[in-house]
Amino acid sequence: MASLPKDLSDALDSVLGRFAPADMTRSVQNLIQQYREGFDPADTVLGSEIDVAAYAGYRMPATFAAISTALRHTAEMAPGFAPRTHVDVGGGTGTAIWAATGIWPSLESVAVLEQAPKAIALGKRLAKRAESPAVRDARWEQAVIRGTVTKPPADLVTMSYVLNELPPDTQEGVVRSLAAQARMVVLVEPGTPAGYARISAARDVLIDQGLSVVAPCPHDHVCPIPRDRDWCHFSVRLNRSALHRQIKVGTLGFEDEKFSYVAASAQPWARAANRVLRHPLKRKGLVSMRLCTGGEGVTDEIVSKRHGDAYRMARDVSWGDEWPPSTGDGSEE
């Protein structure tokens, strides 16, 4: 079960402790209403300190869990990738830079591009409590995302939960600009049919830009999942703190964050043979998995006790994992 790293959790608790939980809950409900009704991307939605704090308390744990999972799967497929520079576009309060430095300690210089001044201010405040020097010394730049993104060259470029806020006719240009002068691009969107559609379109753009898909797909071919019947997404379970439950008006001590993502690299890496597309069905002596394969599209595979070591590995496999698990030696294709 995923959770925030202690330094980020402590920093967030310190910030949230300045406001009454009931006030943050009201702020969150107002923000949700604004997102449902739609808004101009140039508008500053997070315009007050309590709005930013409430949104951070509401979304940072789930966003961190999703981004960390996507980046971990990326790192597993590209074990020789050791980025030194990272740019996060539309980074809000900086969730992605915390996640990335947890996956790649090699990061030395990180930058966050964000349009809301109050979000930048809170992100800086949280970053001061980070154990990672790269997060503590992060550069924060105010920027509005339009048809393109002006950013410095970077080994790693990320953008999470932002495409859904952009007009459809601008998304392709934004993705193309993200890929420019980047060694690795990772995009994350909500795990909904619409979120997957945006990721699928972005995947096509990245491939057209000459990048090679690293994860989750085991190929660069057209996605074999029929759009009208299913969509590619993954799930991560995360802990909810007492305050997190109160802000969300929830009773469960956990939640499941569903997300879609794509990671693409300027250099090819050895691919996963298959990717697990759903929670494997595990029964006594048998594991059934739905897989996206490198050459046969979507298939179902059953592993039983008679398969020996394969069965023992299958008992530990989870939704989103590669199958079979690889050791990864850092080599390229």
For residue 272, is pLDDT > 90? yes
For residue 161, is pLDDT > 70? yes
The residue that leads in pLDDT, 252 or 11, is 11
Q: Is there a contact between 158 and 94 (Cβ–Cβ < 8 Å)?
A: no
Q: Minimal CA–CA distance to 73: which of 211, 180, 163, 186?
A: 186
Condensed to tens digits (0 to 9), the pLDDT of residues 167-206 reads: 999 999 999 999 999 999 999 999 999 999 999 999 999 9
Unique residue bearing structure tokens 């830079």: 97
Provide φ and ψ at 76, rounded to 5°: -65, -35
Q: Which domains does the chain have, with CATH numbers?
A: 6-265 (3.40.50.150), 274-323 (no CATH)
pLDDT at 229: 84
Q: Is there a contact between 261 and 186 (Cβ–Cβ < 8 Å)?
A: yes
Condensed to tens digits (0 to 9), the pLDDT of residues 40-67 reads: 544 456 668 888 898 898 889 999 999 9
For residue 8, is pLDDT > 80? yes
Unique residue bearing structure tokens 């992100």: 123
Q: Minimal CA–CA distance to 223: which of 202, 253, 240?
A: 202
Distance CA 60, CA 5 (A): 12
pLDDT at 226: 83
Condensed to tens digits (0 to 9), the pLDDT of residues 118-135 reads: 999 999 999 999 999 999
Rounded to an integer, the average pLDDT of 214-229 is 92
| 3-state secondary structure labels for all residues of the chain | CECCCHHHHHHHHHHHCCCCHHHHHHHHHHHHHHHHHCCCCCCCCCCCHHHHHHHHHHHHHHHHHHHHHHHHHHHHHCCCCCCCEEEEECCCCCHHHHHHHHHCCCCCEEEEEECCHHHHHHHHHHHCCCCCHHHHCCEEEECCCCCCCCCCCEEEEEEECCHHHCCHHHHHHHHHHHHCCEEEEEEEEECCHHHHHHHHHHHHHHHHCCCEEEECCCCCCCCCCCCCCCCCCEEEEEECCHHHHHHHCCCCCEEEEEEEEEEEECCCECCCCEEECCCCEEECCEEEEEEEECCCCEEEEEEEHHHCHHHHHHCCCCCCCEECCCCCCCCEC
Condensed to tens digits (0 to 9), the pLDDT of residues 77-129 reads: 999 999 999 999 999 999 999 999 999 999 999 999 999 999 999 999 999 99
CB-based contacts of 332, cutoff 8 Å, min separation 6: 80, 267, 268, 269, 270
For residue 37, is pLDDT > 70? no
Distances (CA, A) of 329 to 141, 274, 326: 37, 18, 9
| pTM tops 0.75 | yes
Burial of 112 (0-12, 13-18, 19+ CB in 10 A): buried
